[in-house]
A and B are shown apart, each in its own frame.
Chain A
Amino acid sequence: MSLLALEQLDVRHGQLQAVRGISLAVREGETLALVGANGAGKTTLLRAVAGAHRPAAGRVLLDGADITAVPAHRRVALGIALVPEGRRLFAGMTVEENLRVARANGRPGAWSVERVLEVFPMLRARFKAKAGSLSGGEQQATAIGRALVANPRVLLLDEVSLGLAPVAVERVYQCLEAVIAGGATVVLVEQDLARALRVATRVACMLEGSVVLEGAAADVTREQVTEAYFGLGRGQPA
């Protein structure tokens, strides 16, 4: 059975329908990469899974249980954690406080503040520093750590490489791959196609709110994804 399942999910921003009837399933231990152009609805989809947006129609299932109506803060305790786009740290609070405030509301489990420091050693020196004063890479590490300390069953990562220097991206991904290798279930949004295909076990390409291509990361080619990404195969002008 799949750990996370979306059934015919519709999400709207007022008049705009950002996600149109998407059905997806993620099995335990799987890493699903969502790719697609800006505005394809990837962020909205992740936020709907995390509970930040209430879907207009459809269902979100976690381990078979319908959580569509469960508010965001209770989904954390059920095992869904989102690393939001743009990191969204509590800038006036220290790294330690950012981690502790998330730990206090998370599930019990193997991830602790100390373990986050082991996985992201660059945070150790900045532990007592205000999150707002960190470099982009350090902030991203804190944001991922803040999600991990909640011991999620499903970790949602939204554009963790956005706005980071290439070196910082490399370092963050090294740590992430260690987390994924440890058996985590991950849904990630990533602009860098090559990186997404390397990290993920499965790929879903979104276009204008729908999934237009889905498959095992090993099976889909770069060309197929590129075609789906721009909607080239649809035979009609965009």
Chain B
Amino acid sequence: MIWLNQVIQGVMLGGYYALIACGLSFMFGVMRIINLAHGDLAILAAFLVWAIVDRSGMSPFLALALVLPLMGALGWLMQRAMLERSLRSGVLVPLLTTFGLAIVIQNLLFLQFGADTRSLAPAIGDLAFESWSIGSRIYIGHLAGLTFLVAVLMLGALQLLLTHTPLGRSIRAIAEDPDTAELVGIDSRRVYAAAAAIAVMTVAVGGTFLAMRATFGPYAGPAQLIFAFEAVVIGGLGSMWGTLAGGIVLGVAQNLGAQIAPNGFLIAGHAVFLLVLGARLARQRLKGTP
């Protein structure tokens, strides 16, 4: 029973990872940019939501609705002002650019909010600790359940966007062949900026859920990035449902690892990530394609 419980909790945790990861996956799939500032953007959104809640006492969900357009605009600006230029210089430069952006965000947050850790948990009442019970031994937290649901809805919405809307078709066309996409009339600068705005908006949702389930400080971003990145890699590129699966695999592995040994949580997660990565590389070598 305890193992079953760990698997279920792992799946819930995976939903949270998928929520954090979906913006990263979206940007990587479309623009081939690994956004190293991803975790810090999530923390930035968390701080913005927290600041609004702290000042006005409104619900964090309402505050998130206010922060979303702001983060979307930030994503658009980030693409137009920084990433677009750095993309022209090859793959490595955007990596360095976003690394620099991460440091800037961290220190601006530190400057503005100090080193105190914060949480939105006090602002959401009993959502923070209530749970549903399944049988007598298994409990699923309301917040964990909500997180999982939001992750599924958001990834599903992104998948629908990609497959059934003109913007989604343009995004996929650019991801496959940017040169030809221009020749069929797609304005790649606009589409890239729109995709970046969407990605950063999903990051804001992830950051808010992080702030509700745990504490966060100005330097908490990179730790979020690692799990998000692992979920994306395990799930495979370009597929939104793959990211959900990747998050779940990671969450279950971590929880089972923790059940085996107290310090097995991180080890098991990283081990699964490395195993999947190794298997991918081995398969590529067998196929003979780089």
Q: Is the CB of B176 within 8 A of A101?
A: no
B180 within 8 A of A: yes
Q: Is the CB of B182 within 8 A of A52?
A: yes
B183 within 8 A of A: yes
Q: Is the CB of B183 within 8 A of A100?
A: no
Contact residues in B for A77 (Cβ distance below 8 Å): 185
Interface residue from A90, A93, A102 paired with B185 (Cβ < 8 Å)? A102
Number of B interface residues in the complex (CB < 8 A): 17
Interface residue from B172, B179, B184 paired with A102 (Cβ < 8 Å)? B184
Q: Is the CB of A101 within 8 A of B166?
A: yes
Q: Is the CB of B183 within 8 A of A93?
A: no
Contact residues in B for A50 (Cβ distance below 8 Å): 183
The digit string for A36-54, where 1 denotes a CB below 8 A from any CB of B, is 0000000000000011100
Q: Is the CB of A90 within 8 A of B180?
A: yes
Q: Is the CB of B182 within 8 A of A101?
A: no
Indicate whether A88 sits within 8 Å of B186 (C-beta atoms), given known contacts A100-B169, A104-B170: no
Q: Is the CB of A91 within 8 A of B182?
A: no
Q: Is the CB of A93 within 8 A of B184?
A: no
Q: How far is the CB of B17 from chain A (nearest CB, A)?
A: 26
Interface residue from A74, A76, A92 paired with B184 (Cβ < 8 Å)? A76
The digit string for B144-185, where 1 denotes a CB below 8 A from any CB of A, is 000000000000000000000010011011001101111111
Name the residue on A nearest B169 (C-beta): A101
Indicate whether A105 sits within 8 Å of B169 (C-beta atoms), given known contacts A52-B179, A88-B177: no
Contact residues in A for B183 (Cβ distance below 8 Å): 50-52, 72-73, 76, 81-82, 84, 88
Q: Is the CB of A105 within 8 A of B185?
A: yes
The complex places the Cα of A77 from the Cα of B180 at a distance, in Å, of: 15
Q: Is the CB of A84 within 8 A of B176?
A: no
Q: Is the CB of A91 within 8 A of B169?
A: no
Name the residue on A nearest B190 (C-beta): A73
Give the A-B pair count, Cβ closer than 8 A: 69
Q: How far is the CB of B195 from chain A (nearest CB, A)?
A: 15
Contact residues in B for A106 (Cβ distance below 8 Å): 185
Interface residue from B179, B184, B187, B188 paired with A101 (Cβ < 8 Å)? B184
Q: How far is the CB of A229 from chain B (nearest CB, A)?
A: 28
The digit string for B179-214, where 1 denotes a CB below 8 A from any CB of A, is 111111111100000000000000000000000000
Name the residue on B nearest A132 (C-beta): B176
Contact residues in A for B170 (Cβ distance below 8 Å): 101, 104-105
A186 within 8 A of B: no
A150 within 8 A of B: yes
Q: Is the CB of A93 within 8 A of B173?
A: yes
The digit string for B26-44, where 1 denotes a CB below 8 A from any CB of A, is 0000000000000000000
Q: Is the CB of A93 within 8 A of B176?
A: yes
Q: Which of A73, A77, A100, A150 has the most CB of B within 10 A?
A: A73
A215 within 8 A of B: no
Indicate whether A146 sits within 8 Å of B179 (C-beta atoms), given known contacts A90-B173, A101-B170, A104-B169: no
Give the residues from 101 to 125 in chain A that come closer than 8 angstroms, CB to CB, to chain B: 101-102, 104-106
Give the residues from 55 to 105 in chain A that come closer than 8 angstroms, CB to CB, to chain B: 71-74, 76-77, 81-82, 84, 88, 90-93, 97, 100-102, 104-105
Q: How far is the CB of A214 from chain B (nearest CB, A)?
A: 26
Contact residues in A for B181 (Cβ distance below 8 Å): 73, 90
Q: Is the CB of A84 within 8 A of B180?
A: yes
Give the residues from 144 to 185 in chain A that come closer than 8 angstroms, CB to CB, to chain B: 146-147, 150
Q: How far is the CB of A129 from chain B (nearest CB, A)?
A: 15
Indicate whether A73 sits within 8 Å of B169 (C-beta atoms), given known contacts A52-B179, A52-B182: no
Contact residues in B for A91 (Cβ distance below 8 Å): 176
Closest 5 CB pairs of A and B: A105-B185, A76-B185, A102-B184, A72-B182, A101-B169
Query: Can you name 7 A-B pairs with beta carbons within 8 Å?
Result: A76-B183, A77-B185, A82-B183, A84-B180, A102-B185, A147-B184, A150-B184
- 8 additional A-B pairs beyond A50-B183, A76-B185, A105-B170, beta carbons within 8 Å, are A52-B179, A90-B180, A90-B181, A93-B172, A97-B169, A100-B169, A101-B170, A105-B184
User: CB within 8 Å of B: which residues of A?
Assistant: 50-52, 71-74, 76-77, 81-82, 84, 88, 90-93, 97, 100-102, 104-106, 146-147, 150
